[in-house]
Amino acid sequence: MTNKCNICGQTTRSLIKTENGSVCLNCYSSHKGKKKHRNEEAQIQSEFFKQVRILFPKLPSKLLFAVPNGGSRNIIEARNMKYQGVVPGVADVILLIPKHGYASLCIEFKTARGKQSDEQKEFQRQAEACGSKYVVVRSVTQAIKIVKKYLV
């Protein structure tokens, strides 16, 4: 059975009951002063999706999606996800609409100082080799501008 986190809204099996209701481990950790960079990236990405729905109402709703690769998971859930084909390094968001000679648009959200992992660099290399556009963004504004330019 899966439930939603009261803070980020993500669906997960691993929730912690707090005074704020049930929260996922990632949100719980970020409120304890841990993993702030992941939480900041998650906030940027969440705000991006809020704005996308408003700014691009005709965008097919199933073709722009987040890839649930990040976040904290218990060992059983992490193992199950690996068995189900989840691989490290895949971009945070993928837009599966071919435009301007690209197969798709892959967006990696990073903080101002965030750096790509080796797995993310390898995903970028493979995605670009197969004809996808790959970008690293550091703000909601930057992400929206890239999507707008990509779709025009």
For the stretch 18-31, pLDDT in tens is: 766 777 777 776 65
Looking at residues 52-63, what average pLDDT do you find?
95
In the DSSP assignment, the letter for residue 135 is E
Every domain of the chain and the residues it spans:
1-34, 36-151
Sorting pLDDT into bands at 50, 70 and 90, what band is 73? confident
In CATH, which of 3.40.50.300, 3.90.380.10, 3.40.1350.10, 3.40.50.720 is domain 36-151?
3.40.1350.10
Tokens of 148: 């707008």
Residue 31: predicted pLDDT: 57
Listed range (18-22, 35-39, 59-63) with the worst mean pLDDT? 35-39
Across 17-54, b (16+ Cβ under 10 Å) vs e yields eeeeebbbbbbbbbeeeebeebbbbbebbbebeeebee
